[in-house]
Amino acid sequence: MRVAATRLGSLVQRRGFASTPRRLDNYAFIGLGQMGYQMARNLQSKLKPTDKVSIFDVNTSAMEGLSAEMKAASSGAAVELAASAHDASKGADTVVTCLPEPQHVRGVYESILTDSLPKKDRIFIDCSTIDPTTSRQVAKSVSEAGQGTFVDAPMSGGVVGATAGTLTFMLGADSSVVPRVEPTLFLMGRKVLHCGDQGAGLSAKLANNYLLALNNIATAEAMNLGIRCGLDPKTLANVLNVSTGKCWPSEINNPVKGVIETAPASRDYRGGFGISLMRKDLRLALVAAESAQAKTELGTLAFNMYDKAAQREDCKDRDFSVVYRYLGGKEE
């Protein structure tokens, strides 16, 4: 039997055509924000009609809208609107959560793990981006309650990837649990990177987003420098992207209008990865760094910049590449 797997040290990437056990048939999906809404839609659409998905969000409009969309498709698993996160989880074999902040994750799992929850060997998959310490505390509470196993699986790919079902998941779980978790993640994404034990997925995600946050600021400053020295923006970007300065913010998400037509900068920084979300992820990375006693001398400077930019009227609620505008970058 062929198994499509690539091993790089302890990092394993498995693709959707790998051999995996039969999927469990009762699911709960909790948290229907911009990412969760699309992930739940993909999950339901790719399950069998004999399966069931219970969905819950504090925003009842999001629940009702998603339910209507799922039912209109006339395919996939049966859909059930739950009255609470606890209600959604009662009959589920697999529970997926996608929530904004650590306190939301703690609160949801406290509401789920009550004495009235039927005992079952569930898999809890948390796709939220939170700090590893909080995640490990929740994992411990799941284990102590005898309700199964909690894993962390934050994702990369944004709303576009969530909609297209092409997300990359960074999985933190004991290797023995990976075969039980992967089938569900492959219904919502394209890649699963097993990063190590529970908590490791979040550590990888926060390290990646820390680097992304700094690269974004450096790209904005470099582009502004070159343009003010008389360089054409596209010419400068072409130089960067075949040289040692090449990075995702310079090549894919360039912060200067017109350089990359599909980038948020070309539509007044609308869409993309919100600056408030980058501020949040950077804050979590700094919390994790302090816990791990890792020096992050540039991190505090970067956080202060994102924090100030996120509050400025012409930058707030826009893609995080809007720091170029915050820095006074030339936009014409």
Burial of 230 (0-12, 13-18, 19+ CB in 10 A): exposed
Residue 62's nearest CA partner among 81, 75, 45 is 81
Annotation says 205 is catalytic: yes
Element (H, E) at 1: none
Q: How far apart are CA 1 and CA 173, in angstroms?
A: 25
Give the chain's count of helices (H) and strands (E).
Answer: 13, 11
Catalytic residue (choose from 205, 234, 257, 316): 205
The helix (run of H) or strand (run of E) holding residue 276 is: helix 275-292
Q: Is-contact 202 289, C-beta < 8 A?
A: no
Q: Which residue has the tokens 């839609």?
A: 41
**Can you tell me the distance from the alpha carbon of 16 to that of 245, in angstroms, rounded to the nearest whole number?**
33
Kindly give, in sequence order, each residue whose CB lies less than 8 Å from that of residue 235, ignoring residues fewer than 6 positions away. none
By CB neighbour count within 10 A (0-12 exposed, 13-18 middle, 19+ buried), where does 268 fall?
A: middle
CA distance 194 to 186: 13
CA distance 285 to 246: 23
Tokens of 166: 């092409």
Phi, psi of 247 (to 5 degrees): -160, 170
∠ Cα 150 153 159 (to 5°): 140
Query: Hey, which residues does 79 pair with through a beta bridge?
Result: 53
**Could you list the active site residues?**
205
